[in-house]
Chain A
Amino acid sequence: MTDLTRLTAAGTAQAVAAGEASATEVARAHLDRIGEVDAAVHAFLHVDTAGALAAAAAVDADRAAGRPLGPLAGVPLALKDVLTMQGVPTTCGSRILEGWLPAYDATVTRRLREAGVVILGKTNMDEFAMGSSTEHSAYGPTHNPWDLARIPGGSGGGSAAAVAAYEAPLAIGTDTGGSIRQPAAVTGTVGVKPTYGGVSRYGLVALASSLDQAGPCARTVLDAALLHAVIAGHDPHDSTSIDAPVPPVVEAARAADVRGMRIGVVRELTGEGYQAGVQQRFDEAVGVLEELGAQVHEVSCPHFPYALAAYYLILPSECSSNLARFDGMRYGLRVGDDSERSVEEVMSLTRAAGFGDEVIRRVILGTYALSAGYYDAYYGSAQKVRTLITRDFQSAFEQVDVLVSPTAPTTAFRLGEKLDDPLAMYLNDIATIPANLAGTPGLSVPVGLAPEDGLPVGLQVMAPVMADDRLYRVGAALEAALLTRWGRPLLEEAPAL
């Protein structure tokens, strides 16, 4: 019998629907795989064995009863620990939420359950999604399956690593400044940040409300599209959710055709600061797109160099307010409640003990940026830059259909390498942040290994708001052409765990 963990999500769903494998067998195979490799990878913070098997059994029962199955019924999935799941621990990678059992499902979680997706557990992440390496998790880092001494990217390193290590064919990530796309790039997987408002944020524990967006992680572009279609769509519980039909992402992934498409290479996101091997693989991939019939142009987005600075004012500002609710009063950790100390002291002690350094750093930055007398200079100016970046996108999309760039400037760096240098860490998101500021969608697809270190490189595709289908069209075309060239999926180049 084939190794069920090696199937794609599409293939797994087919096998379950055809009765070639039961959902329970698929779930057990993945739970076993987690048991074998997760001690080394540490992609999961919590494995919900009982819940997963119950969900799988329900799919099997539906099939036996002849009830219709959804397109991803019986497919296992790893859920980033920033989305709530009723009765299952949700920590956001933080001590401050240790022991909290959510009373409700996030809309994404609910849609997954309704689609018969089997949720295996919750994945590791930088605390409250703040970081690019998953080293800021309070529960220890996740290791990159390509090289366990390296980072899997972040903040959604757990989700990307779970997919790369065949612990799950699918995962959900969240992307505030690149937390789906950059981990995908450095683990040789596919990751998509949908249009802001395309996927409900209800139940997504907010880092920066105006930037956060949940999206799919997968090993193939089609799998990502199938997952995208399940989780996307208007949600009346999220005011910022867009009330419009979901773009035809699955059709686009199946079409995989770029003939006649105008593709713009963002001048400001290449060259200096980008690792030579990353740049090389990116340039080759652009050549492949041209060979496939796309018209490639260079496009300038003059305000992109200011994106990082604006981002690091807007994000901390929103996060300082979003994280205020973690005070030990209603749920999670409480420190110092000896019936002598005041409420303020208990709140203060709880937050000091419950938050890690990176969280505290950003809360302080944001508190400062929003303070009277500084607001206009910091938050106000950053919002103006954000508008200019949005206009850069708009004028670029008057010239081309999609934009492309390397997803991250480097391949996976070593664990600990940038931990003491926040600015160097922040720079890893330089190419992904503009899309979050503008609310535009972005996808990362593997385009090979950097010659100098043999580690995966990702190419980012960016499209206009609610034109997410274009990402999949380009991503799938490139994926297919490269697969032909390589003879087998890139992930199979990774050393065995």
Chain B
Amino acid sequence: MSDPSGLIPYADAVAAFDPVLGLEVHVELGTETKMFCGCPTTFGAPPNTQTCPTCLGLPGALPVVNAVAVESVVRIGLALHCEIATWCRFARKNYFYPDMPKNYQVSQYDEPIATNGWLEVEVPTPDGPAVVRVEIERVHMEEDTGKTTHQGGVTGRIHGADYSLVDYNRAGIPLMEIVTKPIEGSGALAPEVARAYVAELRALMVALGVSDAHMHQGSLRCDVNVSLRSSPSAPLGTRSETKNVNSLRSVERAVRHEIRRQAALLTAGGRVVQETRHWHEDTELTTPGRSKEQAEDYRYFPEPDLVPIAPAREWVEELRARLPELPAARRRRLQAEWGASDLEMQSVANAGAFDVIEATVADGADPAAARKWWLGELARIANERDVEVGELPIFPADVARLAALTADGTLTDTLARQVVEGVLAGEGSPDEVVAARGLRVVSDESALLAAIDEALAANPDVAEKIRSGKVQAAGVVVGAVMKATRGQADAARVRDLLMQRLG
């Protein structure tokens, strides 16, 4: 039962085969109530406390469509440049599983609410970002299932478990599924394209305010389909579908892994089995799940308990007109406003720092200084603490103030970093930290000159070395002065004064 294939190096895999991707992203909509009933959707409530006859599938209970969910999905469809159906229906997807209260899922099948769109994503390459247009096949609505946890056993999987518990709080949470058309032509960049696409979708959900799109909480879940073919002109190969891919990093790595695994299989003369595979965050491997060779027959048919949805054209146009600025447009605007290079914008994107930098600039900081702080010192600290930069306990206004204090010479970079430390430690605003810690640049020239003379006296050979052209020897004096002023001197200024002193 162990994974029979080895892996071959990635470069060899993409040299020999052309990868084709397909991404299915499930997004939990951030509506206050469930898809077909009035139960709340709060995350983390005690099990089975947010349920009613409808979402428990009790005999006789009926669904009623959540109008806010429909509106959210139409807005997403519009943001993805989709056609919005003039008439569509829900369908029942029939299969038995204990976390499905009715043993069918109300979903959409051949009549999705939005079809044929696209999303442009920027993929980082050594030559700067490449823009890739990902074609969207469809966007549809459905209800989430309950959540099963298997108790006992070692793996948390159903096999070997002593018993299983089902929490129906999640049953009926509005879900939206966004399915791409086959993404072709990415070549070796396929893993980066997959990651960039999911990242862009997340940004879109957040911009539209329809979902918090937290991958770690499962409010955005991704299934990754990968297939290989011998050349871009060859027919599509057999695909595998990898589930449980719950971070951007994992999206990229799961694609990379599947390309290597399938390439190894094909190179060895084997064949790829159409199956569902599971991604393991810890081992960074996929393992086979259920085979789709005997494809499950879901016996879809139109849901007779719900009437069709017919979004009025005027309403759709009104929603289109009210769409907020979308991430791509925002990035273009900010790049122009900031005068930033493609590479710099890519760094901002990687750090997830658009919001904080924009706010810092709005608070008066120079765009370059704002970027420097958020992508430099603050990104480093966020990384150490394993949080997003936006989650650090420092306000954009604080960073703007730091930038101002540094620009007018009140603080050196070194001092400013100490101020950041103070702000993050909860010592107050930058000005309060400066005052409390006494962190001002020593700008009194007589004090600095006294310190320089003291340092020269302590190092009698240095003056001679500098005069004879060994300028780097000045470092010793500058260092001594900095030490004497407990770092509160401007090193460049000290160097200038030293040079003047020595003629």
List chain A positions with a Cβ less than 8 A from chain B: 83-84, 90, 92, 97, 100, 102-104, 106, 201-206, 208-210, 236-240, 317-318, 320-321, 324-327, 329-331, 339, 343-344, 347, 367, 370-372, 375, 379
Pick the contact of B59 from A97, A238, A239, A320 — CB < 8 Å? A97
Q: What is the CA–CA distance of A209 and B306 in the complex, to the nearest angstrom?
A: 10
- Chain A residue numbers with a CB within 8 Å of B304 are 208-210, 240, 318
Contact B58 A239 (CB under 8 A): no
Q: What is the CA–CA distance of A201 and B304 in the complex, to the nearest angstrom?
A: 12
Contact A239 B307 (CB under 8 A): yes
B97 and chain A: residue at smallest CB distance: A343
Contact A240 B307 (CB under 8 A): yes
27 residue pairs bridging A and B, Cβ less than 8 Å apart: A83-B60, A84-B59, A100-B59, A106-B60, A201-B62, A203-B60, A203-B61, A204-B60, A206-B305, A237-B62, A237-B64, A239-B63, A239-B305, A239-B306, A240-B304, A240-B307, A318-B304, A320-B94, A324-B96, A325-B57, A325-B102, A325-B103, A329-B98, A331-B59, A339-B163, A370-B94, A371-B299
Q: Distance (Å) between the CB of A50 and the closest chain B CB?
A: 23
Residues 84-105 of B, flagged 1 when their CB comes within 8 A of A and 0 if not, give 0000000010101010011110
Q: Distance (Å) between the CB of A112 and the closest chain B CB?
A: 15
B127 at the interface (CB under 8 A from A): no
B187 at the interface (CB under 8 A from A): no
Q: What is the CA–CA distance of A67 and B417 in the complex, to the nearest angstrom?
A: 78
Known pairs A331-B59, A372-B299; list 16 more (Cβ under 8 Å).
Answer: A90-B59, A103-B53, A106-B60, A202-B62, A209-B304, A209-B305, A239-B62, A239-B64, A239-B305, A318-B304, A321-B94, A321-B299, A324-B94, A324-B96, A324-B104, A325-B102
Q: Distance (Å) between the CB of B119 and the closest chain A CB?
A: 31
- Chain B residue numbers with a CB within 8 Å of A237 are 62, 64
Residues 307-321 of B, flagged 1 when their CB comes within 8 A of A and 0 if not, give 100000000000000
Q: What is the CA–CA distance of A324 and B94 in the complex, to the nearest angstrom?
A: 8
Contact A375 B301 (CB under 8 A): yes
- Chain B residue numbers with a CB within 8 Å of A367 are 299
A212 and chain B: residue at smallest CB distance: B304
B121 at the interface (CB under 8 A from A): no
Pick the contact of B101 from A238, A240, A321, A330 — CB < 8 Å? A330
Q: What is the CA–CA distance of A104 and B166 in the complex, to the nearest angstrom?
A: 22
B56 at the interface (CB under 8 A from A): yes
Contact B60 A238 (CB under 8 A): no
B95 and chain A: residue at smallest CB distance: A324
Describe B's contact surface by its main secondary structure. loop
B359 at the interface (CB under 8 A from A): no
Contact A371 B306 (CB under 8 A): no
Q: What is the CA–CA distance of A47 and B94 in the complex, to the nearest angstrom?
A: 36
Contact B297 A371 (CB under 8 A): yes
Q: What is the CA–CA distance of A379 and B103 in the complex, to the nearest angstrom?
A: 20
- Chain B residue numbers with a CB within 8 Å of A84 are 58-60
Contact B56 A372 (CB under 8 A): no
B299 and chain A: residue at smallest CB distance: A370
Q: What is the CA–CA distance of A238 and B36 in the complex, to the nearest angstrom?
A: 11
List chain B positions with a Cβ less than 8 A from chain A: 53, 56-65, 92, 94, 96, 98, 101-104, 163-164, 166, 297, 299-301, 304-307
Given contacts A104-B53, A240-B307, A344-B96, contact A317 B301 (CB under 8 A): yes
Q: Distance (Å) between the CB of A252 and the closest chain B CB?
A: 28
- Chain A residue numbers with a CB within 8 Å of B65 are 239
- Chain B residue numbers with a CB within 8 Å of A239 are 62-65, 305-307
- Chain A residue numbers with a CB within 8 Å of B63 are 239
Q: What is the CA–CA distance of A239 and B304 in the complex, to the nearest angstrom?
A: 10
Given contacts A321-B104, A327-B103, contact A206 B96 (CB under 8 A): no
Question: What 9 A-B pairs have minimum CB-CB distances, sorted nearest first?
Answer: A324-B103, A209-B304, A370-B299, A210-B304, A203-B60, A205-B59, A205-B60, A325-B102, A84-B60
Q: Distance (Å) between the CB of B314 and the closest chain A CB?
A: 21
Q: What is the CA–CA distance of A102 and B52 in the complex, to the nearest angstrom?
A: 12
Contact A104 B301 (CB under 8 A): no
Given contacts A240-B307, A367-B299, contact A330 B59 (CB under 8 A): no
A104 and chain B: residue at smallest CB distance: B53
Q: What is the CA–CA distance of A322 and B6 in the complex, to the nearest angstrom?
A: 46
Q: What is the CA–CA distance of A203 and B305 in the complex, to the nearest angstrom?
A: 12
Given contacts A325-B102, A370-B299, contact A240 B305 (CB under 8 A): yes
**B59, B96, B299, B301, most chain A CB atoms within 10 A:** B59
Q: What is the CA–CA distance of A207 and B269 in the complex, to the nearest angstrom?
A: 53
Q: What is the CA–CA distance of A320 and B95 in the complex, to the nearest angstrom?
A: 11
Q: What is the CA–CA distance of A194 and B101 in the complex, to the nearest angstrom?
A: 30
- Chain A residue numbers with a CB within 8 Å of B61 are 104, 202-203
Q: Distance (Å) between the CB of A202 and the closest chain B CB?
A: 5
Q: Distance (Å) between the CB of A328 and the closest chain B CB?
A: 10
Q: What is the CA–CA distance of A329 and B299 in the complex, to the nearest angstrom?
A: 22
- Chain B residue numbers with a CB within 8 Å of A318 are 301, 304
Contact A331 B96 (CB under 8 A): no
Q: Distance (Å) between the CB of B303 and the closest chain A CB?
A: 8
Q: What is the CA–CA distance of A257 and B58 in the complex, to the nearest angstrom?
A: 44
Q: Distance (Å) between the CB of B503 and the closest chain A CB?
A: 91
- Chain B residue numbers with a CB within 8 Å of A325 are 57, 59, 101-103
Q: What is the CA–CA distance of A370 and B301 in the complex, to the nearest angstrom?
A: 7
Contact B98 A343 (CB under 8 A): yes
Given contacts A236-B64, A325-B103, contact A104 B58 (CB under 8 A): yes
- Chain B residue numbers with a CB within 8 Å of A327 are 96, 98, 103
A240 and chain B: residue at smallest CB distance: B307
B159 and chain A: residue at smallest CB distance: A342
- Chain A residue numbers with a CB within 8 Å of B306 are 239-240
A100 and chain B: residue at smallest CB distance: B59
